[in-house]
Amino acid sequence: MNELHRVATDVATVKLLIDGEFVESATSEWREVVDPATGAVLARVPFATAGEVEAAVAAAQRAFATWRRTPIGARARIFLKYQQLIRAHMGELAAILTAEQGKTLADAEGDVFRGLEVVEHAAAIGNLQLGEYAHNVAGGVDTYTLLQPLGVCAGITPFNFPAMIPLWMFPMAIATGNTFVLKPSEQDPMVTMRLVELALEAGIPKGVLNVVHGGADVVNAICDHPDIRAVSFVGSTRVGTHVYRRASTAGKRVQCMMGAKNHAVVLPDASKAQTLDALAGAAFGAAGQRCMAASTAVLVGEARAWIPELVEKARALKVGAGGEPGTDVGPVISCAARERIEGLIASGVEQGARLELDGRHPAVPGYESGHFVGPTVFSGVKPGMRIYDEEIFGPVLVILEADTLDAAIALVNANPNGNGTAVFTQSGAAARRFQEEIDVGQVGINVPIPVPVPLFSFTGSRASKLGDLGPYGKQVVTFYTQTKTVTARWFDEASAGHGVNTTISLR
C-alpha cells in the first residue's frame, strides 16, 4: 500500500495525505498502532505538526475553487467507481481492520459495508442536492434555491468504526462539492488510509481529500482554523463537547455524535428466543465498543425470569482473536480500555449489583498478551451505580427491572443520553405507545440496534448529540451546503418602465 513506508525497524509508518500525495510526516511525536489480540506493533502513526495541518487545509482551499464547479454528474461517477473498488477489496479491508482494531472478521466486514452504503448514497447526489423552484410568485417573477457547497470541511473519527465513520463523512461532504480534511483515530488508522487510497483511485482529484493524524493539538487546530467551515465529530462525550464548543465558538457548523447508554426494554410477550439472541448480539458484538450497543436491558414484569437464560446465552459466546474462526467476542482496543472496563466491573460489585457472569481475565490460549474481556452480565442494577451511569464501552450488559411499560419508559427518559433504544414485544399497541412516549432519537421495535439506512439520517438526541443535523442521509446534505435563494425577473424592451421601483409587488 502506498500510504505505508517500511523503515529500518521493519515497522510501517502511516503517512499523511496532502494535496494528492502521501507524505512522510516531519513530526517528532509518534504513536504505535498495536494489534489488540497479540500486543504486536503493526505501525507507527505520526502526530502531525502545525505546519502540516496548515498545508492540508491550504491544499483543500485551493482545490475547492475548481471542485465546487465540477458537474454533479462527474462527482457522482467518482462514487459509483468508489463503491465498486470497496466491494472488490472487502476482504482486504476487513483483514486490516481486524488486525488493528480487534473485531471479528464478520464484524469488520459489517463495519466496511455500513460505510459502503453511504458511498452508494453519495453516488445519488444528483437527486439529493436539488433546490426548489416556484414559478411566477409575482408578475413575471420566479424564485428558486441553490444548495451550494460550504468550502473546506473536516472530520474527526473514533477508533471503534475506523471504516464506517470516515465513510459517513468525507463521501457526502465531497459529493456535495466541498473539500475535506480527515483526522482518523490514531489508534487504528490503517484501514482508513486504505480506503483513502481507493478513493483517490476512484478519481477524487488532488487536494479534494486530505488526511492528517494526531491527538488533541491536531483536533484543536481543526476546530480553530479560519478556513474550515464545518466539522463533523463522532466519539466520546468528553471530547465531543470540547469540539462542539471550540469549533462553534470559531463560527463553524458542527455536528457531534457522542456517548450513549442504550436501553433495550423487554416485555413479557416478546418472542423469547429471538429477543435473547438479539440482546446477546447487541450487547457483546464488537466487544461492546459501539455507541449503539444495547448495553442496558430493562426486563418488565415476568420477563425478569429470563435472566438465567440470558446469562447462559452470554456464557456460550467464544472469546478470541478476531481473525480466529468461531470467535464471537474479540479483544477491546487497548490495555487502558481493558483496565477501565475491569475497574467498572469491580465498582458494580462494590456498589451492590449482582455479578451474574464475570468476564474478567478470560483464558485465550496463544493470545496471552491480548486485551480481552469476556461477556459480563450484572443484574439488580439501579441508577446511581457507576455501571449504569457511565458508558462502559465493553462487553458488559447491565440488567434493570421494571413492573410496567410506563415505569420502563420513565426509566429510559430519565437517563440523560438519547442515542438509541429498543422495545421487544408482540403487541402493536405497546410498541406504538413506546415509540410515541420515549424521548430518544432512534427507536427499534424488535430491532436491538436501530441505526437507520442512509436513506434516513442518524438521529441521536439529548446528551448523545450536539448540533441540529446528523450524519449521512438528507440531513447531511443540508449540513454540508448553504441555501442561496434567487428571485429573478426578466424584461424585454417593450415592457421597460420609468421611474424608481425598488420593490416587487406580490399582488
Pair 68, 158: CB distance under 8 Å? no
Cell of 117: 452504503
Count of beta carbons in the 10 Å neighbourhood of residue 351: 15
How far is it, in rounded angstroms, from Cα 432 to Cα 161?
Answer: 32
Q: Which amino acid is at 454?
A: P
Residue written as grid cell 471542485: 67
Count of beta carbons in the 10 Å neighbourhood of residue 347: 14
How far is it, in rounded angstroms, from Cα 349 to Cα 414?
Answer: 24
Residue written as grid cell 448540533: 467
How far is it, in rounded angstroms, from Cα 448 to Cα 437?
Answer: 18
Residue written as grid cell 473539500: 179
Pair 340, 381: CB distance under 8 Å? no
Nearest to 164 by CA among 97, 258, 211: 97
Q: Is 335 a catalytic residue?
A: no
Torsion of CA 62, 66, 67, 73, to 10 degrees: -170
* DSSP annotation string for 406-427: HHHHHHHHHSSEES-EEEE-S-
Count of beta carbons in the 10 Å neighbourhood of residue 24: 12
* H/E stretch holding 307: helix 307-315
* DSSP annotation string for 208-219: TEEE---SHHHH
How far is it, in rounded angstroms, from Cα 56 to Cα 38?
Answer: 34
Pair 197, 16: CB distance under 8 Å? no
How far is it, in rounded angstroms, from Cα 373 to Cα 288?
Answer: 10
Please, what sign has the CA dihedral across residues 200, 206, 207, 212? positive
Helices (H), 129-286: 164-175, 190-202, 216-224, 237-249, 272-284
Pair 282, 264: CB distance under 8 Å? yes
How far is it, in rounded angstroms, from Cα 325 to Cα 273?
Answer: 24
Strand partners, 141: 138, 489
Strand partners, 211: 17, 182
Q: Which position among 223, 256, 291, 335 bears the catalytic label?
A: 291
List, by residue number, the catalytic residues: 291
